[in-house]
C-alpha cells in the first residue's frame, strides 16, 4: 500500500497544488470583477441621475428665458390708407412753423386781425381766415404777405361782411402759396399723394 503523509500544519498557499491555486486565483478574480462591476454600475447610475437633474434645470432655464424674452417683432405690412395717413402726419410735422409765423408777424398791422391759419402740405399752401377794416387794407395785407418769404403769393378765396359786428369788418379767407425753398427747409421736397 501506499504510504500516506499526514501533515497537521496548514500548508502555505504557495505550496498548494496547482489546481487548488488556480481555483483560489479564479475566485479572487471573480470577486474583484464583481466589485469593480458594482462600482462602475454605481458610478453610471450616479452620472445618469446627474444628467437628469441637469436636463431638468436646463428645461427650467429655457422656460424662464422664454417667459422673460419679449416676442419676436413681426414686421407689419401697412395698407394704402395707413401709408397715406402716415405721410399726411409727416407732412404736417414738417411744416416750417418758425418761418410761417415770422412771415405772418412781419406783415401784421392793426388794421388786420388774423383769426386762423391752417397749412395744407399737399397743395403747398397755407389757408387763413382774417378780418380787415376795408378792401384796401385787405389787398395791401395780401400783397405784403405774398412778397414775404416763405410765401410765393397770396390770394383771396372768399370774402363777406360780418353783419353781426357793429364795425362791419370784412371777413376773408385767403390762400398763401409756399415758395419752393420752404419745403426743403421743412425736411425735403413735397410728396405727391393720390
The domain spanning residue 111 has which CATH number? 3.30.1360.100
pLDDT at residue 189 in the model: 47
Of residues 176 and 189, more confidence is placed in 176
- The kind and range of the H/E element at 34 are helix 18-68
pLDDT at residue 16 in the model: 60
Give the structural domain span for 181: 90-185
Q: How large is the average pLDDT for residues 108-135? A: 86
What angle is formed at CA 142 by the lines to CA 89 and CA 88, rounded to 5 degrees? 10
pLDDT at residue 181 in the model: 60
Co-location of 166 and 96 in the same domain: yes
Which distant-in-sequence residues (6+ apart) come within 8 Å of 153 by Cβ?
146, 176, 177
- Report the distance separating Cα 123 and Cα 178, nearest Å: 9
What angle is formed at CA 119 by the lines to CA 174 and CA 112, rounded to 5 degrees? 40
Co-location of 117 and 159 in the same domain: yes
Co-location of 97 and 172 in the same domain: yes
Q: Looking at the domain assignment, is residue 70 inside a domain?
A: no
Helices (H), 69-96: 80-93
pLDDT at residue 111 in the model: 86
Co-location of 61 and 98 in the same domain: no
**3-state class of 127 per DSSP?**
strand
Number of structural domains in the chain:
2
Of residues 119 and 11, more confidence is placed in 119
Question: Which of 32, 65, 98 delimits the end of a domain?
Answer: 65
pLDDT at residue 46 in the model: 95
pLDDT at residue 11 in the model: 62
Contact in structure between 164 and 130 (CB atoms under 8 Å): no
* First vs last C-alpha separation in the chain: 134
Co-location of 179 and 109 in the same domain: yes
pLDDT at residue 182 greater than cutoff 60: no
Q: Is the preceding peptide bond at 35 cis, omega within 30 degrees of 0?
A: no
Co-location of 46 and 123 in the same domain: no
> Does the reported pTM lie above 0.85?
no
Co-location of 59 and 94 in the same domain: no
Co-location of 128 and 58 in the same domain: no
Co-location of 94 and 174 in the same domain: yes
Which distant-in-sequence residues (6+ apart) come within 8 Å of 7 by Cβ?
none
Co-location of 47 and 95 in the same domain: no
Lowest mean pLDDT among 72-76, 126-130, 154-158: 72-76
Q: Looking at the domain assignment, is residue 71 inside a domain?
A: no
Q: Looking at the domain assignment, is residue 192 inside a domain?
A: no
Q: Looking at the domain assignment, is residue 37 inside a domain?
A: yes
pLDDT at residue 190 greater than cutoff 70: no
Lowest mean pLDDT among 17-21, 31-35, 62-66, 128-132: 17-21
C-alpha cell at position 177 = 402759396
Of residues 16 and 71, more confidence is placed in 71
CA distances from 166 to 52, 116, 162 (A): 94, 21, 9
By DSSP bridging, strand 125-132 and strand 112-120 are antiparallel
Co-location of 131 and 95 in the same domain: yes
pLDDT at residue 48 in the model: 94
Amino acid at each position: 500500500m501506499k504510504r500516506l503523509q499526514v501533515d497537521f500544519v496548514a500548508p502555505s498557499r504557495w505550496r498548494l497544488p496547482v489546481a487548488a491555486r488556480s481555483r483560489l486565483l479564479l475566485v479572487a478574480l471573480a470577486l474583484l470583477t464583481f466589485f469593480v462591476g458594482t462600482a462602475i454600475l454605481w458610478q453610471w447610475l450616479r452620472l445618469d441621475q446627474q444628467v437628469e437633474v441637469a436636463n431638468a434645470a436646463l428645461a427650467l432655464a429655457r422656460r424662464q428665458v422664454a417667459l422673460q424674452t419679449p416676442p419676436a417683432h413681426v414686421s407689419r405690412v401697412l395698407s394704402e390708407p395707413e401709408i397715406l395717413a402716415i405721410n399726411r402726419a409727416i407732412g404736417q410735422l414738417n411744416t416750417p412753423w418758425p418761418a410761417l409765423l415770422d412771415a405772418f408777424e412781419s406783415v401784421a398791422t392793426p388794421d388786420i386781425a388774423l383769426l386762423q391759419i391752417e397749412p395744407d402740405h399737399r397743395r403747398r399752401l397755407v389757408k387763413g381766415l382774417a378780418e380787415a377794416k376795408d378792401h384796401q387794407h385787405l389787398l395791401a395785407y395780401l400783397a405784403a404777405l405774398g412778397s414775404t418769404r416763405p410765401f410765393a403769393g397770396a390770394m383771396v378765396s372768399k370774402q363777406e361782411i360780418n353783419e353781426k359786428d357793429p364795425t362791419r369788418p370784412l371777413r376773408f379767407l385767403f390762400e398763401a402759396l409756399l415758395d419752393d425753398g420752404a419745403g426743403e427747409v421743412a425736411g425735403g421736397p413735397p410728396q405727391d399723394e393720390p
